[in-house]
A and B are shown apart, each in its own frame.
Chain A
Amino acid sequence: MTTFLGMPALPAFGSGNLFAGESFPKAAHRELGNAQLRANLGHATHTIRDKRQAVVSELPDWEQLRDAGSAIKESVMARLPELLEEFEKNFTARGGVIHWARDAREANEIVAGLVRETGETEVVKVKSMATQEIGLNEYLEEQGIEAFETDLAELIVQLDRDKPSHILVPAIHKNRTEIRDIFLREMPGADQALTNDPPVLAMAAREHLRRKFLTAKVAVSGANFAIADSGTLAVVESEGNGRMCLTLPETLITVMGIEKLLPTWQDLEVFMQLLPRSSTGERMNPYTSLWTGVMEGDGPQNVHLVLLDNGRSAALADEMGRSALHCIRCSACMNVCPVYERTGGHAYGSTYPGPIGAILSPLLTGIEAEENNSLPYASSLCGACYDACPVKINIPDILVHLRSVDVDSKRGARKVPSQMDVGMKAASWALSSGKHLGLVEKGLPLGRLAAGRDKKIKKLPGIAGGWTQSRDIPAPPAQSFRDWWAKEHKSAAPSQAAPSRDDKEIQQ
C-alpha cells in the first residue's frame, strides 16, 4: 500500500473582469491623450487627498491603528481555513446560508440560481467590487435577469454602458456636465430642465431609484468585512442605497472574497477607524449596516453569502505577494499615485485599478497571463501608495517582486536569448569589476559622436529604444569620472590612487 502524499496542486487562478484587453503601456498612451479625463481626475484625486490628510492628522494614534490593522490582516491570512470555518458556523447558526465558489463562473451560476428560485427577474444591487470582478451583471442579463446598480456613481457608469475607473468613485472620470448629459439621455422620464448642479443630479437619481427600492424582492450586495467570531457581515456606504438593499427585499444575496474576514468583533474597531478616513476622507461614513444571518421580523428572511476564491488562494501562495490580500478597498493608494492620476483607471484593464490593481490583478490571474504582465511596470515606485495604505501593504516591494517573477517566467521560453538577456549579461560583466567598468567607459566618448551637434541622443537601437521613445539622453561627457580622478590625483598622492584597491573586495 502506498501513501498518497499529494501533488503540489497547480494554483487555481481567477477569471472574469481581471484581465486587461491590451497592455498597460498601450492603453495608458491612448488615455493620456484625453485632456478632459486628466482634468477630471486631477481635480478629484487632489480633493480627496487633502480631505484624507486632514482627518488622518486628527488621530493621535493613526500609526498604531495601521500597525494593528496590518497585523490583524496578516493573522487572517495565516489562519484563513479555520477562520472561514468559524465564520461559516456562526453565520449558519443564525439562519444564513453559505455557498462556496471556486471561480467567477461558479459564483455567477450560484447567484443566478438563487434569483431564479425566487421567481423574480429583477434585482437591486449595492456597489460591490466582487460582483464587478466576476461580471455578474452581464451574466444575469444573459440569464434574463436585470440588475439595477443603486450607488450613484455605479448608476452613472451603468447608464452610460461604461466601466468603473476607480474603486471608491467609479465615475471619477466624469464631470458634472457629462453626468447630466448621461441622465438626460438614458434616464426614462428625466426632467429636460435638469441642471449640472450635484444636488439636482443626486435628487434625479433618488427619483429614478425610489420605486425600485420599495418594490424589489431580491438584492445583491458585496461586503466590506465578515467577522468570524460573531458571524457578522458589514457594508459601509454613504447614500442609504446600501441600507435600502440590505433591509427592504425578502432575499439578500451577498458575494464576498474569502480574504475579507476579521477574526473578532473587537477587530472591527480598528477597521472602522481606518477605512472611512482612508477612503472618503471622512471621520465616519454616513451609514454602516451589520447583519448576522437572519433577524426575525427585521430585514430579509432569506440571507445568502457566496464565498469567492477566484484566484485568491493562488495569490495567497505567493509568500511575498499575499499581503496584497490585506487590501480593504479604500482606494487611498490610487488617489496619491502619479501614474493613476494621469492614465485613469481604465488603462489598468482589470476591475482593480491603481497601485493595488497593479499587484492584485496579476496575483489573482497569474503573472503568466499575458494581458496582465505589464501591470507591475505601471509604476514609478515612488512609494506614495505604501505611505497612504491604512494596512501598510508594501506595494512598491511587491511590484518589484512581481517584475522579477515576470522576467523569470519568460526565461527559457525562448530558444534564442533576447536583447534583454544579452544586455543583462553584458551589464553583469561590466559591473562585476572596476577594471571591466573602466574598459567600458573608454567607449563613452563614442556616444558623443552619436549625439551630434545638439548634444542629445534621440534614438537608441533595439529594446533600449523604449527609453528614448519619450525622452532624449544627454550626450556622455568627454571624459569619464574615473579618468578625471586618475588625472587629478596623479601628482598629489600616487600611493592612494584607485588601482591599489582590490576589485574583489569591492564586489563584496
Chain B
Amino acid sequence: MTAREDILARIRTALQDSPEAPQIPREYRSESGMETEELIELLVDRLVDYKAQVAVVAEAEVPATIASLLEGARSYVVPEGLDGGWLEGMDDARSRRRVDSAGEPLSVTDLDGTDAVVTGSAVAVAETGTIILDGSANQGRRAISLVPDHHICVVKAADIAGILPEALRRIDGTRPITMISGPSATSDIELERVEGVHGPRRLDVIIAR
C-alpha cells in the first residue's frame, strides 16, 4: 500500500463515528461600509503605527513624490508594467533605473546591488494596514519587492478595502501573493519589536487619490 492510500485509509478509519461537518456561522463582519476618505485616514493611521512612511497625494503628484523619495538612491528597479506616467519627468532611465521583465529578469546579485524598488499594488486593507501584491504587471515578480532595502509602493485610493474579507474577495488566490504590513520586523528578542531584518527596512507608501 502506498503512503497515500495508507494515510487516507487511516483517516477514514479514524472517522468511523461519521462526524458531521457543521454549518459555518459567518456572522462576522464582511463589509465595512466606509467611505473613501475614512478608508484613507484609517490606512494611514495603521501604516504609521507599523513605522511605514506614508504620503497621500493627488494622482498627478505621484511622479514628483516618487522622485523625491528616490533622492539619494544610486539605483532603483521597476517592474516592466509599472503604470505609465508614474516615472514621468525622471530622465534617469539609463543611469539609475533598472527594468525587470519576464524576458530579461534581473539576477539576485543585481537586485541586491539595487537601492530601491517602485511598485504598484493590487489591493490594501485599511483596518490592518496591509498592502497586497499579486504579481500583476505593475507589481512584478516577488523577488523585486523583497531584495532591495527600500520599497516605494503606490496604492490607489480606489484599491483600498475596509476590512480583510472585502480585500480577499478582490484577489485571485492562485496568483503569487505577498501581503505586506509595514517594513520587515522581528519581536524575537524579549518581545521587543525591531523594524528591519531581512526584508526591506524602509517602506514608503504613496496613496494616490
Q: Residues of A at under 8 Å CB distance from B? A: 8-9, 11-12, 40, 43-44, 47-48, 51, 60-61, 64-65, 67-68, 71-72, 74-75, 77-81, 84-85, 94, 99-102, 106, 150-153, 156, 169, 171-172, 175-176, 179, 198-199, 201-203, 205-206, 209-210, 213-214, 227, 230-232, 238-241, 243-244, 246-248, 258, 265-270, 272-273, 276, 280, 282-292, 295, 297-299, 307, 309, 313-314, 316-317, 319, 322
Choose one: A243, A267, A292, A317; the contact of B174 (CB below 8 Å): A292
**Does B85 touch A at the CB level, under 8 Å?**
no
In the complex the two chains form, is B165's CB within 8 Å of A269's CB? yes
Q: Count residues of chain B with CB under 8 A from any CB of chain A.
A: 73
What string of 1s and 0s marks CB contacts (under 8 Å) between B42-63 and chain A?
0000100010000000000000
- Determine the chain A residues whose CB is within 8 A of the CB of B15 once the complex forms: 77-78, 80-81, 316
What string of 1s and 0s marks CB contacts (under 8 Å) between B1-20 and chain A?
01110111111111111011
In the complex the two chains form, is B186's CB within 8 Å of A71's CB? no
Chain A to chain B: the 7 pairs with minimum beta-carbon distance, closest first: A240-B199, A317-B14, A313-B10, A240-B198, A153-B188, A298-B141, A284-B128
Can you list 15 contacts pairing A with B, beta carbon distance less than 8 Å?
A: A65-B28, A71-B22, A75-B21, A99-B3, A153-B188, A227-B173, A239-B199, A240-B184, A240-B200, A282-B181, A283-B46, A283-B127, A284-B179, A316-B11, A319-B17
Q: How far is the CB of A230 from chain B (nearest CB, A)?
A: 4
Choose one: B125, B146, B165, B192; the contact of A198 (CB below 8 Å): B192
- Determine the chain B residues whose CB is within 8 A of the CB of A64 once the complex forms: 25-29
In the complex the two chains form, is B186's CB within 8 Å of A297's CB? no
- Determine the chain B residues whose CB is within 8 A of the CB of A72 once the complex forms: 24
In the complex the two chains form, is A102's CB within 8 Å of B181's CB? no
Choose one: B11, B173, B181; the contact of A286 (CB below 8 Å): B181
Given the complex of chains A and B, what is the CA–CA distance between A84 and B145 in angstroms? 33
**Does B68 touch A at the CB level, under 8 Å?**
no
**Does B74 touch A at the CB level, under 8 Å?**
no
Q: How far is the CB of B160 from chain A (nearest CB, A)?
A: 15
- Give the interface SS of chain A, mostly helix, strand, loop or mixed: helix
Choose one: A77, A209, A243, A317; the contact of B146 (CB below 8 Å): A243
Q: List CB contacts (< 8 Å) of B135-194 with chain A.
A: 135, 141-143, 146-147, 164-165, 168, 173-192, 194
In the complex the two chains form, is A77's CB within 8 Å of B19's CB? yes
In the complex the two chains form, is A286's CB within 8 Å of B185's CB? yes
* Stretch from B33-41, B90-98, B102-110 at the A interface: B102-110
Q: Which residue of A lies closest to B140 (CB)?
A: A298
In the complex the two chains form, is A247's CB within 8 Å of B142's CB? yes
Q: How far is the CB of B206 from chain A (nearest CB, A)?
A: 19
Given the complex of chains A and B, what is the CA–CA distance between A241 and B147 in angstroms? 11
Choose one: A106, A244, A258, A267; the contact of B198 (CB below 8 Å): A244
In the complex the two chains form, is B189's CB within 8 Å of A202's CB? yes
Can you add 9 more A-B contacts, CB < 8 Å, to A81-B15, A152-B189, A198-B194?
Answer: A202-B196, A214-B108, A239-B186, A272-B164, A282-B181, A283-B128, A285-B181, A286-B184, A314-B14
Q: How far is the CB of B153 from chain A (nearest CB, A)?
A: 13
In the complex the two chains form, is A102's CB within 8 Å of B7's CB? yes
Q: Which residue of A lies closest to B192 (CB)?
A: A198
Choose one: B7, B127, B188, B190; the contact of A258 (CB below 8 Å): B7
Q: Which residue of A lies closest to B203 (CB)?
A: A286
- Determine the chain A residues whose CB is within 8 A of the CB of B164 once the complex forms: 269, 272-273
Q: How far is the CB of A241 from chain B (nearest CB, A)?
A: 5
In the complex the two chains form, is B109's CB within 8 Å of A240's CB? no
In the complex the two chains form, is A289's CB within 8 Å of B25's CB? no
Choose one: A151, A175, A209, A286; the contact of B50 (CB below 8 Å): A286
Given the complex of chains A and B, what is the CA–CA distance between A182 and B3 in angstroms? 41
**Does B69 touch A at the CB level, under 8 Å?**
no
In the complex the two chains form, is B196's CB within 8 Å of A61's CB? no
Given the complex of chains A and B, what is the CA–CA distance between A422 and B149 in angstroms? 70
Given the complex of chains A and B, what is the CA–CA distance between A213 and B179 in angstroms? 20
Q: How far is the CB of A393 from chain B (nearest CB, A)?
A: 15
In the complex the two chains form, is B180's CB within 8 Å of A280's CB? no
In the complex the two chains form, is B181's CB within 8 Å of A284's CB? yes
- Determine the chain B residues whose CB is within 8 A of the CB of A203 once the complex forms: 196
In the complex the two chains form, is A241's CB within 8 Å of B197's CB? yes
